[in-house]
């Protein structure tokens, strides 16, 4: 009698987990790696501001590896001979890492359905797949670079500005495209799988390169 209720609870848990995973697949998600090169105290401050701002965006996750985007910041204090800090020189770059989407699409397009097939086409596809995956592994796309001289007291506002502009100019178009493809796939239900996998590539080709 005790096993039956436990089994029911286990089934409920499993279904809940599966439902949550399916729900996540239908949501837009992006991962970001933050890199800050500066003096220790300045590095900690900038990293704190950027992390706080990005975590306020619901569909963005801060990661330490395999990101979709890298936000790279280099900063240095401008110090006068008398020790007075005149301001901060701060540089920010937005770098996209489209390797995950492209690698998935390449595998979908080239990997044979029948793994036991030893034909020339099979061997050709395997060879192409191997070299393309090597190329895609380190593929990056440099979107934006900006260098500013700002007062020390404006550092927080500048970090907020970076995140707001990045979200509006780069993430929002990807969100829009993602959900448009979701709607199109629901209407069509066929023939859009590869297009959906390549939505980031299309974004790369049509994004402004500053």
Convert the pLDDT of each residue in 182-205 to its tens digit.
777 666 554 444 444 444 444 444
Maximum alpha-carbon separation in the chain: 81
Element (H, E) at 203: helix 199-206
CA dist 103 and 92 (Å) reads 27
Burial of 188 (C-beta count, 10 Å sphere; 0-12/13-18/19+) = exposed
The pLDDT value given to residue 24: 46
Could you give the CA distance from residue 199 to residue 175 in angstroms, rounded to a whole number? 10
Residues 6 or more apart in contact with residue 69 via CB below 8 angstroms: 30, 31, 32, 33, 94, 95, 96, 97, 170
- Residue 184 has what pLDDT? 72
Strands 85-96 and 141-150 turn out to be: antiparallel
Q: Mean pLDDT for the chain? A: 74
Q: Which domains does the chain have, with CATH numbers?
A: 28-98+140-210 (3.40.50), 101-135 (no CATH)
**What integer pLDDT is reported at residue 205 of this predicted model?**
45
pLDDT band of residue 181 (cuts 50, 70, 90) is confident
- The pLDDT of 167-175, averaged and rounded, is 90
**Tens digits of residue pLDDT in 70-83:** 999 999 999 888 88
């Amino acid at each position: 009698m005790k096993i039956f209720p436990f089994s029911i609870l286990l089934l409920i848990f499993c279904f809940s987990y599966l439902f949550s995973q399916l729900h996540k697949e239908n949501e837009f998600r992006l991962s970001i790696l933050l890199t800050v090169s500066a003096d220790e105290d300045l590095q900690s401050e900038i990293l704190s501001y950027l992390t706080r701002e990005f975590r306020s965006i619901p569909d963005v996750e801060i990661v330490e590896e395999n990101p979709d985007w890298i936000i790279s910041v280099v900063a240095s204090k401008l110090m006068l001979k008398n020790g007075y800090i005149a301001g901060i020189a701060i540089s920010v770059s937005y770098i996209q890492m489209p390797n995950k989407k492209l690698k998935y699409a390449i595998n979908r397009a080239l990997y044979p359905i029948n793994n036991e097939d030893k034909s020339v086409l099979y061997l050709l596809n395997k060879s192409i797949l191997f070299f393309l995956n090597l190329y895609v592994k380190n593929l990056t796309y440099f979107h934006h670079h900006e260098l500013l001289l700002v007062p020390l007291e404006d550092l927080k506002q500048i970090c907020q500005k970076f995140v707001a502009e990045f979200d509006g100019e780069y993430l929002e178009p990807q969100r829009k495209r993602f959900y448009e493809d979701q709607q199109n796939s629901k209407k069509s239900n066929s023939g859009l799988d590869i297009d959906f996998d390549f939505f980031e590539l299309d974004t790369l080709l049509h994004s402004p390169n500053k």
